[in-house]
Amino acid sequence: MPAARTLAETLAAKQREISVAEFFERNRQILGFDNPLRALLTTVKEAVDNALDACEEAEVLPEIHVEISKEGADRLRVAVDDNGPGILKREIPNVFGRLLYGSRFHANRQSRGQQGIGISAAVLYAGLTTARPVLVMSKVAEEEAAHVVELLLDTQRNLPKVVREDLQLWDRPSGTRVELLLKAKYQRGRQSPFEYLRGTAIVNPHARFVLTEPDGTRITYERASEEVPKVPTEVPPHPYGLELGELSSRLKASRRATLSEMLQTDLAGVSARAAREVLEGAGLKARDVPGDVHGEALERLLQALHTVALVPPSADCLSPIGPVLIKRGLRNVLGDVRPDFYAPPVSRPPRVRGGFPFLVEVGLVYGGGLPVDQPIQLLRFANRVPLLFQQGACAITNAVQTMDWRRYGLDQRGGSGLPVGPCLLLVHVASTKIPFTSEAKEAVAEDPELDKELTLALQSAARHLRTHLSRRTRRDQAEEKFAIILKILPKLAEKTSHLVGKPIPDLTPVITKIMDVVNVETTIATEGARTVRAEVTNYTPRARVLEAFVEMPAEVFGAATFAPAPDGTDPALGRAWWTLEKLAPNGRERLEVAFPKGTEVDASDLTWYLAGVDEAHLLGAETLPGDWDIRLPRAVIEAAQEAGEPLPSPEEPEVDYDAAEASEHVEEDD
């Protein structure tokens, strides 16, 4: 280095010297360390996110322990350990002791951590508030013992300063434990480690979490799925999302011999034909050397890449939670709330925003112990990470609030804002690049494409809710009718028969006139074998030929036994069916599906369908979906129906005496 440094160089050096500490101090808020409550949450969140990402990469089922203990008046010790693959000893200092160091920033795939600020910021915060080093213990499967490293972050140089190194035996194949002492405060509430872990457990049903709170309370979220989620694959960046700098570095780093080859292999969505068009548009040659493109040529190339029609980015790099696991996750965590209804979760197909694929998923739960008179609970997730702050500034919240939920059966003042009702809404946005509003990754920024998908997904979930609520209303009305026909009518007949001294008449015609539905009542018995029973009763005034179908997950179909023997089965689709010949008015048929003890199946996993009666006259089962490719004995059904008596014409409207009376008679007594 020359002896005489320029002023600019001196300044540059100075800037670097103060940069990290100053950066942190000035950005405490956006990094999530602006107060003791939030500092704790951010620390736990960063450590757990890292643990989950590490486990996922290694394809192991995560087991994550979070222990928070009190140390002195305003200090907490936070320890997070996982059963992940561990970190190589030489990498430990950089991972924990250096800001902006990470493996995922450049990877074009969906992951929890993205910027590499997270855990080292927590180390920095801990160092600044307690002057204590972080303790990292990590073991990789190849080594006998775990490495223990204590280190601080050197704020002057943004470099790790190792204080102590050691080896320690650890009775597990691999894993990482990180322990920090920081100025922080523990409190349960909306923005607490408790809430964060609850949310994380919902969207990561394959993980087991144990949280130990400072007072010793231990909360465990058991694993609800043994399936390791598919690791999102890394794909080359799509040109639509590329900016000049990245294109330049990609070109320089390319090992391809020609530009044409580079475009087709190092970037996504560029076919041979598209490559030709791009090169033509940019005035470049197929055989040009990638590393030689710069300056104006580079700009022309990017311009051409953005104009030429390309294959949209692949969504392989996304890892949706999927309908099955969303439901399982919600059920696992909300079990004690006993909701009445889990809407079939919505998982939208991937779309592209800029050059980045994204997709939206929505889960909806209704009823049970959820509070009736409060705004719905909205759980927001980005790449499987719960978003706990900035709810008001988030595109997800906005999409929920701008929808008119009154149309779907929830209360909502003026048709906008958070609806009110016993409802919990889970919204997950997965993308290789989530447009966050800030570095603290607490809210998703507005985007027209994203908003459209959010709205479609929410509407789809809301439609399920509306269907459920209208079914429930029908069910309630039916309950009233059942009370009439089962309890009141027989007694009325008995009383009047007795008074006139005649035998009790057959009540079937009256019962069927009052009900006028075919009812399917399902019950489950769990003693020994698990038996799901469906009783089909024809409460309509005519005899009917009905076809009953049961559908169940194909995995459990093999274990099922049926009584009576079904008239047909389709094991691949998990279906069995029966023809109920001429079910007379008030006639009943019992169908049973039994599973051996220990089969993982629930009454709600079985769906019952009935053909031979329209939806308005069917209760407790679905009508046959239109897309089922099944040959029905239609002729038989129709013939049976035509032979039946015509429906009685509806009676003329009458004043209900008991309803008219209700509002009167406040006046006199005697």
Partner 1 sequence: MPQKRASTSKRTTDVEEGSVRADALAPTFDLARSIYEQLEHGEIPRMRLPLRTKQNIAFQMREGVWRLGRALGTRSARKLDGALMLLRTFYLVDFINEMARDRKTSTLRELYYISEGWEEAKFHSEDESNLLIEDLEVLCERLREDFRVHPEENGASVIGDLTIKERNRKGVVKKINCRDDVGDGGYALPFNVEKEKITFESTGAKFVIAIECGGMVDRLAENGFDEENDAILLHLKGQPARSTRRFLKRLNAELNLPVVVFTDGDPWSFRIFASVAFGAIKTAHISQYLATPSAEFLGVTASDIENYKLPSDTLSDQDVRALQAELSDPRFKTAEWRSEIELMLKNGKKAEQQSLAKYGLNYVTETYLPEKLGEMGVL
In the complex, which residues of this chain contact partner 1 (CB under 8 A)? Answer: 480, 483-484, 487-489, 491-493, 495-500, 502, 505, 507-510, 513-514, 654-661, 664-665, 667-670
Tokens of 648: 């009685």
Strands 544-551 and 575-583, by their bridges, are antiparallel
Nearer to partner 1, 449 or 494 (CB): 494
The least distance separating partner 1 from the CB of residue 652, rounded to whole angstroms, comes to: 10
Q: Which of 72, 61, 362, 97 is nearest to 208 (CA)?
A: 61
Nearer to partner 1, 289 or 510 (CB): 510
Nearer to partner 1, 629 or 664 (CB): 664
Neighbours of 539 (CB within 10 A): 24
> Is 428:321 a contact under the CB 8 Å cutoff?
yes
The length of the chain in residues reads 670
d(CA 398, CA 417): 8
The least distance separating partner 1 from the CB of residue 511, rounded to whole angstroms, comes to: 10
d(CA 62, CA 66): 13
The least distance separating partner 1 from the CB of residue 67, rounded to whole angstroms, comes to: 57
Per-residue burial over 299-329, b if 16 or more Cβ lie within 10 Å, else e, is ebbbebbeebebeebbbebbbbbbbebbbbb
Q: Is 615 exposed, middle or buried (0-12, 13-18, 19+ CB in 10 A)?
A: exposed
The least distance separating partner 1 from the CB of residue 612, rounded to whole angstroms, comes to: 23
The least distance separating partner 1 from the CB of residue 621, rounded to whole angstroms, comes to: 24
The least distance separating partner 1 from the CB of residue 32, rounded to whole angstroms, comes to: 53
Per-residue burial over 556-569, b if 16 or more Cβ lie within 10 Å, else e, is bbeebeeeeebeeb
Nearer to partner 1, 336 or 668 (CB): 668
The least distance separating partner 1 from the CB of residue 663, rounded to whole angstroms, comes to: 8
The least distance separating partner 1 from the CB of residue 479, rounded to whole angstroms, comes to: 9
Nearer to partner 1, 448 or 646 (CB): 646
The least distance separating partner 1 from the CB of residue 498, rounded to whole angstroms, comes to: 8
> Is 595:529 a contact under the CB 8 Å cutoff?
yes
What's the half-sphere exposure (Cβ side, CA atoms, 13 Å) at 563?
7
Tokens of 520: 């399917």
The least distance separating partner 1 from the CB of residue 540, rounded to whole angstroms, comes to: 13
Tokens of 555: 């995995």
What's the maximum distance between 2 C-alpha atoms anywhere in the chain? 125
The least distance separating partner 1 from the CB of residue 478, rounded to whole angstroms, comes to: 11
The least distance separating partner 1 from the CB of residue 649, rounded to whole angstroms, comes to: 13
Nearer to partner 1, 497 or 526 (CB): 497
> Is 461:364 a contact under the CB 8 Å cutoff?
yes
The least distance separating partner 1 from the CB of residue 557, rounded to whole angstroms, comes to: 41
Q: Is the dihedral of CA 168, 170, 175, 180 positive or negative?
A: negative
- What are the residues whose beta carbons fall under 8 Å from the beta carbon of 112, sequence distance 6 or more? 49, 50, 52, 53, 383, 384, 385
Residue spans of alpha helices (H) in 267-369: 272-282, 295-307, 323-334
d(CA 576, CA 558): 11
Nearer to partner 1, 642 or 654 (CB): 654
Nearer to partner 1, 627 or 668 (CB): 668
The single-letter code of the amino acid at 636 is: V
Nearer to partner 1, 287 or 495 (CB): 495
Nearer to partner 1, 511 or 550 (CB): 511
Nearer to partner 1, 189 or 650 (CB): 650
Nearer to partner 1, 614 or 658 (CB): 658
> Is 153:98 a contact under the CB 8 Å cutoff?
yes
The least distance separating partner 1 from the CB of residue 458, rounded to whole angstroms, comes to: 37
Tokens of 369: 């112990």
Q: Which of 237, 238, 197, 240 is nearest to 219 (CA)?
A: 197
Nearer to partner 1, 327 or 617 (CB): 617
Q: Which residues pair with 562 in a beta bridge?
A: 593
Show contacts of 26-33: CB within 8 Å, 24+ apart: 27/439, 29/440, 30/438, 30/439, 30/440, 31/117, 31/121, 31/439, 31/440, 32/121, 32/389, 32/440, 32/442, 33/121, 33/122, 33/125
Nearer to partner 1, 215 or 661 (CB): 661
Q: What is the 3-state secondary structure (H, E, C) of 146-204?
A: EEEEEEEEECCCCEEEEEEEEEECCCCCCEEEEEEEEECCCCCCCCCHHHHHHHHHHHC
The least distance separating partner 1 from the CB of residue 659, rounded to whole angstroms, comes to: 7
Nearer to partner 1, 190 or 475 (CB): 475
The least distance separating partner 1 from the CB of residue 423, rounded to whole angstroms, comes to: 29
290 preceded by a cis bond (ω within 30 of 0): no
Distance between alpha carbon 274 and the CA centroid of its chain, in Å?
37
d(CA 483, CA 485): 6
Nearer to partner 1, 142 or 480 (CB): 480
